[in-house]
Structure 1
Amino acid sequence: MSTTLIERPAPAGATRPSLVPRRRTRVFALAEARWAAAATVAFLIALPLQLTGAPAWAWVPMYAIAYVTGGWEPGWAGLQALREKTLDVDLLMIVAAIGAAAIGQVMDGALLIVIFATSGALEALATARTQDSVRGLLDLAPATATRLLDDGGEETVATEALAVGDTILIRPGERVGADGRVLDGASEVDQATITGEPLPVAKQAGDEVFAGTLNGTGVLRVKVERDPADSVIARIVAMVEEASETKAPTQLFIEKVEQRYSLGMVAATLAVFLIPLAFGAAVTGSLLRAMTFMIVASPCAVVLATMPPLLSAIANAGRHGVLVKSAVVMERLGQVDAVALDKTGTLTEGTPRVTDIRPLAGSGLSEDELLALAAAAEHPSEHPLARAVVSAARERGLEIPAARDFTSAPGIGVTATVHGDAVAVGAPARLLNRAEDRLSALAAVVAEELEDSGRTAVLVERDSLPVGILGIADRLRPDAAATVAALTALTGSTPMLLTGDNPRAAARLAAEVGITDVRAGLLPQDKVTAVREQEKAGRRVLVIGDGVNDAPALAAAHTGIAMGRAGSDLALETADAVIVRDELATVPTVVALSRRARSFVVQNLVIASVFISGLVIWDLVGHLPLPLGVLGHEGSTVIVGLNGLRLLRDSAWKRAGAEAAT
């Protein structure tokens, strides 16, 4: 019941890929969910009526509704597979359910159908949502762009119509229409969607810009260097699609042997029925024996051996803020033996904060006075650095003076008049361009020291003289170091850091959390390359990220986890699991819980196989009474089900957390 995405040939002149589901669309997925819900409701109505001794006419019709509403889709899928000379577990489950009903075990068959219908509907919905999210990514690039003409005029054209060599105008607040290089102008561009950098990047003549990134307050003239169909944002879409299609088939352990088991069970059931007939046995007796064999050999206990531990682990993780999207994902989490982490928004909080306040000797200012002066000048600005400075002043309870004559120069900084003094706040490299004096030299030394430690240095001037330096950085999550240590212990190797941020900031943060393998300045395709290198070496990689730029790596990895609070829609839909509360420390715990669930699955499979083997041998060698066969079959089902439900308890989560911490 899996779904893949295929790419239709694009219409003439079109550049955006047109995605259609091979078997499912959102409409079909919603319809399938409604059928599964109807089957579940009918089953839940019938079960208590049967258990309380109500007459058969009250509950049998409800079971019949469950059979029809939940069974038609997997039954049809099984028949289609049969037409292709393939016997899958869908058809086997329907046959087993009908067989159970034929000998009076209506509830058993209905339960099987409800389990299969529900799991199929959940998979269909997840597939449809991921497809919609991939489509939505294309909307990051603007639909139109302003193209400059040779005669000095301008025209508005569709971004698909842009060609390499065209010159486009990017006004303040607009998204860049194509990948290119700045010819003229200066501004700051928010390119977090591409590189994951937490702060806007200053752009001037000669710098590269990417389609879909957001321009700041300046005006840019950009020469188009890539066809829109080959832009970085378009390549992200293509990489997510490719990774989704080429990723190894995600199957539960029991599904890997379903074909052989299905064929073997059908062949054995026919043999149990036909061989006695060939030796003159009565049809009724042979049929009863064959139906008994089908019941005791049906994989009910095997299915429940697999599902309850995994579903219980999913429910337990959900209560603790981790959304695991399927039983397959819960199983795969326990297999990981390598981890790759994003930096901004994953190991860090994703919000710049003031970390250092350095008044210069001779300025006569205290830390609070320097911060209040900078906050007054930055207060009217919407720049992320400005918000960080103002927030820091407010956190200290400082009074922020009023500012007049505010101006902002893209890529340089802001100026304003505060208490009659001309105050400038901005990049040291742009402001420290006067003749050298003692304060300027001191400011340059402090700024270099802060930048070498991975912080962004912000210079504060009063009346054209440097008075202090502020250090600003994205703050590390409190549980980041402990998480890295726990993941190292679980997988036996130190996680990698994959980031689009600058190498100095990446190296500083990696040193703080104990990561030695640092790969910085990466574009999305570079992250995918790093993941695939690990997988070629035989590693099963867990990728943890939050941004659009992380989505291709999340899709390509063995398992992907997204940070939920600030994660992009594409990352949340592409990832296999989501950390809803942004508690990074839950990652090693859920990995350890998955490993416990896998051990419970193995226990249950042993129990189920012992029961099934014993009952089958009894039926083949001797004469197994049908009631006793049903009792043994149901007993094994109950035992493995209850064993798996042990993972619902909070103690299971605490034990997994303790295992991850040791």
Structure 2
Amino acid sequence: MTVDVNSSPAGSAAASDSHDTAQAWAVGQPSRWWHGIWSLPEVRWAVIATTFFAVGGICHLAGAPAWLWWGLYLTCYAAGGWEPGLAGLRALRDKTLDVDLLMVAAAIGAASIGQVFDGALLIVIFATSGALEAVATKRTEDSVRGLLDLTPERATRLRLTEQPKGAEGSREAYGNAVEEQVDAASLRVGDVILVRPGERIGADGQVVVGASAVDQASITGESIPVDKRPGDEVFAGTSNGTGALRVRVNRPAAETVIARIVAMVEEASATKARTQLFIEKVEQRYSVAMVAATVALFALPLLWGVALQDSLLRAMTFMIVASPCAVVLATMPPLLAAIATAGRHGVLVKSAVVMEQLGTVDRIAFDKTGTLTEGRPHLTGVRVLPGGHLTEERLLALAATAEQYSEHPLGAAVVRAARDAGLPLGTLADFTSEPGRGVRARVDGLTVEVSSPAHPTSAGVRSDDSAVRTVATELQDAGHTAVVVRVNDVPVGVLALADRMRPGAPEAVTHLTELTGTAPVLLTGDNARAANRLAGQVGITDVRADLLPADKVAAVHELQGDGTRIGLVGDGVNDAPALATAHTGIAMGRAGADLALDTADAVVTRDELAGIPAVIALARRARRLVAANLVIAAAFIAVLVAWDLLGDLPLPLGVAGHEGSTVIVGLNGLRLLRGAAWQRALRVGAQRS
């Protein structure tokens, strides 16, 4: 309702340009995405290794000559193993035993005894894992850099001419100002900039002249544009509505809120050390012990006069049966199967590490707008004032007709509600709008005004009507936005609008409380009234409102201060620092900002909140299967190692036992691929785990 009719053509043109840009993006994005991913050497080598492995496997099964598929497998070894092997050798110089180097050594050992397929499979698994990690890192870095694009590169600075004494800060002080196009980064504290309708604001500052509605969802997460008047603060990177603003800069470019968001995401990503799977931590110690034992098993018998070939064969058999390959494969299949199952049902989990982390979450923290709510306003009530002599349907129809040309989200919500109700709209004429106030038009011969309770569009209209004030205050206290409808300058009704709760939100909150044993917390940049209203609807009692991005990060640190592992669910740019800081970050996918999607560890692609307790339950089951597989793998290794050390284990039998344990644990983990696994997770998510 802050639309200037004169700016509507420009707004339409901008919308058209945006649509064309979106179409071009949709066409060009896949190729740009693939080009960006292909630029990573880890991805190129992983693709090459996987290709040679696949072709070698086909030739092997097809009965091709052994030299052919052996050559293809060995090429796979070289393509996928040279980089981790080289990195491992460099690590050895720092007296660190790299697990990837041991995997390469185990693969070479497998090839030396004829098990070249097993070694190639191990190489492909590790190469693919490294490529996925590189892709995730690049996407996050690109999104952080792209976040800076929210702030325009250029700004219109006003150079004030000589002005009458005492006119500082007044509208007259800017009447003859000279406009200068400058780099936004060069703006200094005290500069005054002009922000035209539809532009992004170039700096943090304070409004000195003008009124408009500013969409600051990227900073605060508020779903409804906020009316700004002289004295109000605005943020760089937020979108101005249809009024012109003159803003005095109060922070340099490097200290704006949007710049601090970038810094916080980068800092959190850097300080949040690369999380390892539990088994990786065990492997590092186990692998050192295995290498030492293999060397001892080869060298000591030689001192006792054992033949070189016999000593080498026993040591090689020991290395194969004691190899951590079986342990790795005992761990990865359940986690990868859980990732695949979650992905089929609308939850993208980015890595096995994340899946393991999800299984350890102790408490969930929710953002409000776009997470527990849909992120756009809806009409929630129509109140006819005493003496209005109108039905609710007629009141809504008149308001919707007056709002037809409005580009404000509240006006669009009113029009959408009337159309959904099947109400016919009247004839519109003489439409006018005033930023920060509302719209006024002739509808079927009546003068209809739809405006803010405190700021009617006409100077002759009273804003202190007691009936209007009473109803508006009641609605606002309940967390709604109130809009007054006047006919012929007489208030006849009040419309209530609010962001709408997502379907299934209360059930998701209940299930998460039962699953984790702790009630979720609400962290939002929205105002306290709206936050408390939603919290009451979904069943959350711990509410923290009016939070800027840095405040959300501080809240996450506080919640995790006692060792609690927080899973944060959000969707906006303002959530990204907290998503990076939390133990596990989960983003809502459909309307989520690019930075939030790339920073998060998991993405709910269908925006179904029921998927959050389900994926946590699935992750916990995957962890239980990993534990069971480790017991199985350890039992096989213990028996085979004891046989080799205390008896005479034939090499073929050792290989068979090693491969048998791998098959058993692999099949056990793949149980999570069944559709029933997700249905079971949904049921577990609805009751205490």
TM-score, structure 1 as length reference: 0.94
Which residue number in structure 2 is paired with residue 253 of structure 1? Answer: 278
Residue 441 (structure 1) shift: 2.3
Aligned with residue 135 of structure 2, among 122, 125, 128: 125
Which range moved further: 372-381 or 39-48? 39-48
Change (3 A) 1:170 1:438: closer
Aligned with residue 628 of structure 1, among 635, 650, 653: 653
Note if 1:170 corresponds to 2:208: no
Aligned with residue 199 of structure 1, among 200, 215, 224: 224
SS at match of 1:631: helix
Aligned with residue 512 of structure 2, among 483, 487, 504: 487
Residue 155 (structure 1) shift: 1.0
SS at match of 1:349: strand
Note if 1:654 corresponds to 2:679: yes
Note if 1:309 corresponds to 2:334: yes
- Provide the rounded CA distance (Å) in 2 between the counterparts of 1:86 and 1:402: 79
- Provide the rounded CA distance (Å) in 2 between the counterparts of 1:439 and 1:141: 39
Aligned with residue 59 of structure 1, among 69, 84, 91: 69
Which residue number in structure 1 is paired with residue 527 of structure 2? Answer: 502
Residue 391 (structure 1) shift: 0.5
- Provide the rounded CA distance (Å) in 2 between the counterparts of 1:198 and 1:103: 64
Which range moved further: 227-236 or 435-444? 435-444
Aligned with residue 95 of structure 1, among 101, 105, 112: 105
Note if 1:146 corresponds to 2:156: yes
Residue 435 (structure 1) shift: 9.2
- Provide the rounded CA distance (Å) in 1 between the counterparts of 2:517 and 2:37: 44
Residue 519 (structure 1) shift: 0.6
SS at match of 2:537: helix
Which residue number in structure 1 is paired with residue 23 of structure 2? Answer: none
Contact 1:543 1:554 in 2 (8 A): yes
- Provide the rounded CA distance (Å) in 2 between the counterparts of 1:238 and 1:594: 31
Aligned with residue 52 of structure 2, among 42, 57, 60: 42
SS at match of 1:249: coil
Which range moved further: 228-237 or 366-375? 366-375
Contact 2:461 2:489 in 1 (8 A): no
Which range moved further: 317-326 or 365-374? 365-374
- Alpha-carbon deviations, 1:147-177, whole Å to 9, x = none? 1113232211111111111111111111111
SS at match of 1:399: coil
Which residue number in structure 2 is paired with residue 566 of structure 1? Answer: 591
Which residue number in structure 2 is paired with residue 457 of structure 1? Answer: 482
Aligned with residue 124 of structure 2, among 114, 122, 145: 114
SS at match of 1:459: strand
Aligned with residue 401 of structure 2, among 366, 376, 381: 376
Which residue number in structure 2 is paired with residue 9 of structure 1? Answer: none
- Alpha-carbon deviations, 1:534-555, whole Å to 9, x = none? 1112110000000000000000
Residue 53 (structure 1) shift: 4.0
Contact 1:413 1:427 in 2 (8 A): yes
- Provide the rounded CA distance (Å) in 1 between the counterparts of 2:557 and 2:684: 29
SS at match of 1:478: coil
Contact 1:29 1:128 in 2 (8 A): no
- Provide the rounded CA distance (Å) in 2 between the counterparts of 1:174 and 1:187: 12
- Provide the rounded CA distance (Å) in 1 between the counterparts of 2:37 and 2:615: 33
Residue 44 (structure 1) shift: 2.2
Change (3 A) 1:498 1:415: same
- Provide the rounded CA distance (Å) in 2 between the counterparts of 1:302 and 1:437: 77
Residue 120 (structure 1) shift: 0.5
- Alpha-carbon deviations, 1:350-384, whole Å to 9, x = none? 11110101122322211111111001110001100
SS at match of 2:201: coil
Contact 2:37 2:43 in 1 (8 A): no
- Alpha-carbon deviations, 1:552-582, whole Å to 9, x = none? 0000000000000000000000000000011
For residues 258-297 of structure 1, what are the structure 2 equivalents within 5 Å? Answer: 258-297=283-322
- Provide the rounded CA distance (Å) in 1 between the counterparts of 2:465 and 2:47: 71
Which residue number in structure 2 is paired with residue 550 of structure 1? Answer: 575
Aligned with residue 244 of structure 1, among 252, 256, 269: 269
- Provide the rounded CA distance (Å) in 1 between the counterparts of 2:372 and 2:147: 24
Q: Which runs of 5+ in 1 are unaligned?
A: 1-24
Which residue number in structure 1 is paired with residue 499 of structure 2? Answer: 474
SS at match of 1:182: strand
Aligned length: 638
Which residue number in structure 2 is paired with residue 11 of structure 1? Answer: none
Residue 452 (structure 1) shift: 1.1
- Provide the rounded CA distance (Å) in 1 between the counterparts of 2:638 and 2:57: 29
One-letter code aligned to 1:378: E
Which residue number in structure 1 is paired with residue 93 of structure 2? Answer: 83
SS at match of 2:398: helix
- Alpha-carbon deviations, 1:566-606, whole Å to 9, x = none? 00000000000000011011000000000000000000000
- Provide the rounded CA distance (Å) in 1 between the counterparts of 2:638 and 2:391: 81
Contact 1:26 1:125 in 2 (8 A): no
SS at match of 1:429: coil
Note if 1:33 corresponds to 2:58: no
Which residue number in structure 1 is paired with residue 368 of structure 2? Answer: 343
- Provide the rounded CA distance (Å) in 2 between the counterparts of 1:438 and 1:231: 36
Which range moved further: 399-408 or 373-382? 399-408
Residue 436 (structure 1) shift: 9.9
Contact 1:432 1:440 in 2 (8 A): no
Contact 2:439 2:457 in 1 (8 A): no
- Provide the rounded CA distance (Å) in 1 between the counterparts of 2:461 and 2:309: 106
Which range moved further: 496-505 or 423-432? 423-432
Note if 1:180 corresponds to 2:205: yes
Note if 1:332 corresponds to 2:357: yes
Aligned with residue 613 of structure 2, among 567, 579, 588: 588
SS at match of 1:350: strand
- Provide the rounded CA distance (Å) in 1 between the counterparts of 2:117 and 2:63: 14
- Provide the rounded CA distance (Å) in 2 between the counterparts of 1:110 and 1:436: 81
Which range moved further: 153-162 or 506-515? 153-162
- Provide the rounded CA distance (Å) in 2 between the counterparts of 1:402 and 1:432: 20
Change (3 A) 1:256 1:608: same
Change (3 A) 1:314 1:657: same
- Provide the rounded CA distance (Å) in 2 between the counterparts of 1:85 and 1:400: 78
- Alpha-carbon deviations, 1:484-529, whole Å to 9, x = none? 0111111111111011111101001001111001011110000000
- Alpha-carbon deviations, 1:95-144, whole Å to 9, x = none? 00001101111011011101000111011011101100000000001101
Residue 52 (structure 1) shift: 5.0
Note if 1:527 corresponds to 2:537: no
Change (3 A) 1:29 1:660: farther
SS at match of 1:431: coil
- Provide the rounded CA distance (Å) in 1 between the counterparts of 2:514 and 2:136: 32
Which range moved further: 428-437 or 362-371? 428-437
Contact 1:440 1:465 in 2 (8 A): no
One-letter code aligned to 1:202: D
RMSD (CA atoms)? 1.7
- Provide the rounded CA distance (Å) in 2 between the counterparts of 1:251 and 1:148: 54
